Structure 1
Amino acid sequence: MFDKINNLFENSKNFLNLAAYQQKIISSNIANSDTPNYHPLNIDLKKEINTILDNKIRKQQQISLLKTSTKHFSSNRKNKVAFNIFSKHYEKLNFKKNNLDINQERIKFIKNALQYQSQINFLTFEIKNITNTILGQ
């Protein structure tokens, strides 16, 4: 029972982190729309979501801390998730010497924001279900 709840929160956290990270990348692409020779960055969402679902998330190396006293707390923090980003090359669509399509980036920005909000709505619904189950309602 608790494993299912833990998996729900862990997967939701990873999905939200992925959407937030992608939003930063899209924002960066939009901000650099006038930068000459800029190549927009992107994340392969299908690959990253499958990675999250398969629980095979690549993790960054953990920093180990040297304990100089027995009174020091140990560092049990989980590693942060690292996502693979790549440069997306569009055909030359403008005359500013870069290959970014600002309209496609704006659409991706809105779509990503909607996906983020839908994940929050899903998580809220699941929390209400768990609370109602515990309270016997």
Structure 2
Amino acid sequence: MKLVPQYDTLAFHEQSLLARAYRQEILGSNLANADTPNYKSRDVQFADVLQQRLQGIEINSRLTVSRTSSSHFETQGGAEFENPNLLYRRPLQPALDGNTVDADVERTHFAQNAMMMQAAIEFFSGSIKSRLQAISGQPG
């Protein structure tokens, strides 16, 4: 019998960690591009990404590129595309060069997401330990 992902704690924690890692990648990209002209700060709603992952919808930020001729260049990775989950952050004070990254705001979101990711890891670890104790018959 296959459990619904919301009720399978291991699957839930796994998808939660993947959603947090996806958001961390986006926030890190914002910080890395803080000085890039015309770069627009982006983010995702964690709850929306988690819900989609639990429903089995794969969220990728890269497209794969097919090589159809031997004269085509070899590629590493794929091309970035606009994911419908990505939202643009509205800056409090946009820069003259068109960059909308506020480094302080991004660092705050990055740190908050990192703490939530650490908490998710602790819950995941606790869930595994509980199952191992139940299997081995050890008292909790």
User: What's the TM-score, normalizing by structure 1?
Assistant: 0.70
Partner of 1:88: 89
Q: Deviations over 1:9-58 (max 9, x none)?
A: 22111111111111111111001101112111100113223444xx4242
Alignment-derived partner of residue 75 in structure 1? none
Residues 40 and 89, structure 2, Cα contact 8 Å, conserved in 1: yes
CA contact (8 A) 1:48 1:83 kept: no
Map 1:118-137; keep pairs closer than 5 Å. Answer: 118-137=119-138
Contact 2:39–2:101 at 8 Å: present in 1 too?
yes
Residue number in structure 2 paired with 1:58: 57
Give me the whole-angstrom Cα distance separating, in 1, the residues matched to 2:115 and 2:58: 27
In 1, distance between residues paired with 2:2 and 2:47?
28
TM alignment of 1:6-25, pairs within 5 A: 7-25=8-26
Question: Contact (CA 8 Å) 2:40, 2:99: kept in 1 or not?
Answer: yes
- 2: CA distance, partners of 1:41 / 1:21: 12
| 1:43–1:4 Cα change, 3 Å | closer
Structure 2: runs of 5 or more not aligned: 60-82
Partner residue in 1 for 2:100:
99
Q: Distance in 2 between matches of 1:31 and 1:59?
A: 25
Offset of residue 83 of structure 1: 7.4
Q: Could you list the runs of 5+ residues in structure 1 that have no partner in the other structure?
A: 61-81
1:26 corresponds to? 27
Q: Which runs of 4+ in 1 moved over 6 A?
A: none
Q: Percent identity?
A: 27
Task: Report the RMSD for the aligned CA atoms in angstroms.
Answer: 2.7
Q: Is the 8 A contact 2:91 2:100 kept in 1?
A: yes
Deviations 1:106-130 (A, max 9, x none): 0111111111111111111111111
TM-score (norm 2): 0.68
Distance in 2, matches of 1:85 and 1:24, equals 12
In 2, the alpha carbon distance for the partners of 1:57 and 1:99 equals 33
Say how many residue pairs are matched: 114
Bigger Cα displacement from structure 2, 112-121 vs 43-52: 43-52
